[in-house]
């Protein structure tokens, strides 16, 4: 029994990264029969309902710091709304799901850069150098012919900007959370984040979409997976890791997310890359890995 528990503890960070990676193929499944912002709005509403019910029934909070709650809503707008909104929008417009995972893999670099500018944290020369390598790797993936006028299919100014917004959203959200959310219960904070993200998706849906959803089996399964497994299950696993003091293991493995996502999208959708793109992907992954370890 002790050996089984020990194995679960060791595997938890890997399981978390695997679950995180499934969000990228799920973005393609989810936007097949639904508009991206409408779909995400439904996802956040469902996740909020489940988390809020858990908080009210089991935690029964007495004194909630509403200022921290509001800050958590802003974190949700950034880390869920802009991040997932950007990814889902880009994928819905044709960006390969695996490549969207590679672009947002630059998040550790953007976070370090923003923390340097806003919080005054030290930005090491090593991290800056590896950031430049990673950007070159992304360029190789997006423009394998090294021609700015000939990007791969699905890469347009619109989808690239959406991917960049997603990366900046989760990067700024990470810094904002570090600075403004310090002592709020994680379950309550997660509920606040889904509330903030849901309000953003509702606004974007009403302004830019028709709110049309075709309730196919694909839509229902995608929604169930994203809500129950990612929004709830992954949050619970992250809290378990925080309790065990093992979040550093998750951070050290995050560079594997685009690798796992590429494997999934290759199997599920047949997304492939040529030798130049594979080389560029490896440059990005290795740069993130080394920077996370030594930067």
For 260-270, how does the pLDDT look when each residue is reduced to its tens digit (9 = 90+)? 999 999 999 99
Indicate the SS3 state at residue 16. Answer: helix
| pLDDT level of residue 292 (50, 70, 90 thresholds) | confident
pLDDT value for 177: 87
pLDDT value for 148: 76
Report d(CA 77, CA 203) in Å as an integer: 12
pLDDT value for 242: 65
Token pair belonging to 284: 């990005």
Q: How many CB atoms lie within 10 A of CB 244?
A: 12
More confident of the two residues 284 and 9: 284
Report d(CA 109, CA 77) in Å as an integer: 20
Q: Provide the b/e sequence for 246-277 (b: ≥16 CB within 10 Å).
A: beebbeebbbbbbbbbbebbeeeeebebeeeb
pLDDT value for 165: 96
| pLDDT level of residue 2 (50, 70, 90 thresholds) | low
* pTM greater than 0.85 (yes/no): yes
Nearest 5°: CA angle at 249, between 246 and 252? 150
The 10s digit of each residue's pLDDT in 192-240 is 999 999 999 999 999 999 998 999 999 999 999 999 999 888 877 876 7
pLDDT value for 103: 92
The 10s digit of each residue's pLDDT in 6-44 is 666 678 888 888 999 999 999 999 999 999 999 999 999
pLDDT value for 289: 86
The 10s digit of each residue's pLDDT in 53-94 is 999 998 888 888 899 999 999 999 999 999 999 999 999 999
The 10s digit of each residue's pLDDT in 109-121 is 888 888 888 878 7
Of 8-17, 54-63, 131-140, 145-154, where does the model show the most confidence?
Answer: 131-140
Domain ranges of the chain: 2-294
Candidates 263, 268, 236, 230; CA nearest to 40 is 230
Torsion (CA) 77, 82, 85, 91 in degrees, nearest 10: -160
More confident of the two residues 2 and 84: 84
CA 192 to chain centroid: 17
The 10s digit of each residue's pLDDT in 155-198 is 999 999 999 999 999 989 888 888 888 888 888 999 999 999 99
């Amino acid at each position: 029994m002790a050996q089984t528990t020990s194995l679960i503890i060791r595997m938890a960070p890997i399981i978390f990264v695997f679950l995180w990676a499934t969000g990228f193929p799920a973005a393609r499944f989810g936007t097949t029969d639904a508009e991206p912002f409408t779909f995400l709005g439904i996802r956040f509403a469902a996740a909020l309902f489940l988390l809020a019910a858990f908080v009210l029934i089991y935690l029964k909070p007495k004194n909630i710091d509403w200022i921290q709650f509001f800050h958590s809503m802003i974190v949700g707008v950034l880390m869920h709304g802009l991040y997932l909104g950007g990814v889902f929008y880009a994928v819905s417009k044709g960006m390969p799901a695996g490549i969207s995972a590679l672009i947002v893999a630059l998040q550790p670099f953007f976070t370090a850069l923003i923390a340097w500018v806003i919080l005054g944290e030290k930005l090491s020369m090593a991290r800056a150098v590896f950031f430049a390598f990673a950007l070159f790797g992304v360029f190789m993936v997006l423009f394998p012919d090294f021609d700015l006028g000939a990007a791969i299919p699905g890469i347009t100014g619109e989808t690239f900007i959406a991917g960049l917004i997603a990366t900046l959203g989760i990067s700024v959200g990470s810094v904002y959370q570090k600075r403004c959310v310090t002592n709020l219960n994680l379950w309550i904070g997660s509920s606040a984040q889904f509330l903030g993200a849901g309000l953003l998706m509702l606004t974007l849906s009403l302004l830019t979409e028709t709110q049309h959803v075709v309730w196919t089996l694909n839509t229902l399964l995608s929604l169930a997976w994203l809500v129950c497994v990612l929004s709830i299950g992954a949050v619970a696993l992250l809290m378990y890791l925080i309790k065990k003091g093992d979040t550093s293991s998750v951070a050290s493995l995050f560079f594997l997310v685009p690798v796992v996502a590429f494997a999934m999208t290759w199997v599920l959708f047949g997304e492939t890359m040529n030798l130049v793109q594979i080389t560029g992907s490896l440059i990005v992954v290795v740069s993130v890995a080394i920077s996370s370890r030594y930067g």
